[in-house]
A and B are shown apart, each in its own frame.
Chain A
Amino acid sequence: AQKVTQAQTEISVVEKEDVTLDCVYETRDTTYYLFWYKQPPSGELVFLIRRNSFDEQNEISGRYSWNFQKSTSSFNFTITASQVVDSAVYFCALSEARGNEKLTFGTGTRLTIIP
């Protein structure tokens, strides 16, 4: 069975600080996909990134970066120079490549950026 663990329930940082959100996953499959979604106060879920299990390159998109390490089954998300608009709940999710898109979500990390 697959599982995603986000041990950090809530994080608060002062604006402009860097913050890292942790994600640890479990799966028996060799082919799988990892995702991060953002849920702002308005409630909708917004896609941030997708990685497949064969691509361990780190990725950077503006102030966002992701560190994927298969050796530790982790897919961590770092926000650099945080802004108030980054305040949201962030979900890590896992999908196994079995012909459907059943996403297993972590419990989420609520990030609050203090102005």
Chain B
Amino acid sequence: DSGVTQTPKHLITATGQRVTLRCSPRSGDLSVYWYQQSLDQGLQFLIQYYNGEERAKGNILERFSAQQFPDLHSELNLSSLELGDSALYFCASSVGGTGGEKLFFGSGTQLSVL
């Protein structure tokens, strides 16, 4: 058990809908990261937050947004969903996020867009 909690584990929704994925980092970790894993794109970095502030942005679509709250949990919002958004979404956390740190990954949220 990595100590990172993601909910829900599975999500099935329709095109055009909006969903929210939730992540609770390990106790004491200040950084949260979101990754998307799909068959065609592999593992892609989406975004990183450090202590409530956005630190780095990757290949995140404009339809997607994220935030990290004062209690350090994070949410990833996906809107106007398309079939191609179906993927496994991972959250990870680390202590500082300054480079070279080991990331602890949650078990992921499997999103299916029908």
Contacts and interface: CB of A to CB of B under 8 A. Distances in A.
Interface residues of A, number: 26
B100 A102 contact: no
B103 interface: yes
Contacts of A47: 102-104
B48 A102 contact: yes
Chain B: interface residue count, which band? Answer: 20 to 34
Contacts of A100: 48, 50, 55-56, 97-99
B23 interface: no
Contacts of A52: 100
B2 A44 contact: yes
A102 B108 contact: no
Contacts of A91: 43
Contact of A45 (B31, B100, B101, B105): B105
Interface stretch (A63-71, A78-86, A104-112): A104-112
- From A43, A97, A107, residue with most partner B Cβ within 10 Å: A43
Contact of A105 (B43, B99, B108): B43
A98 B103 CA distance: 16
B48 A44 contact: no
B106 A44 contact: yes
Contacts of A102: 45, 48, 56, 58
Contact of A98 (B31, B99, B102, B107): B99
Contacts of A45: 90, 92, 103, 105
B45 A50 contact: no
Interface string A89-102: 00100011111111
A83 to B, nearest CB: 22
Interface of A: 33, 35, 37, 42-47, 50, 52, 91, 95-108
What 3 pairs across the A-B complex have the smallest Cβ distances?
Answer: A100-B56, A97-B99, A45-B105
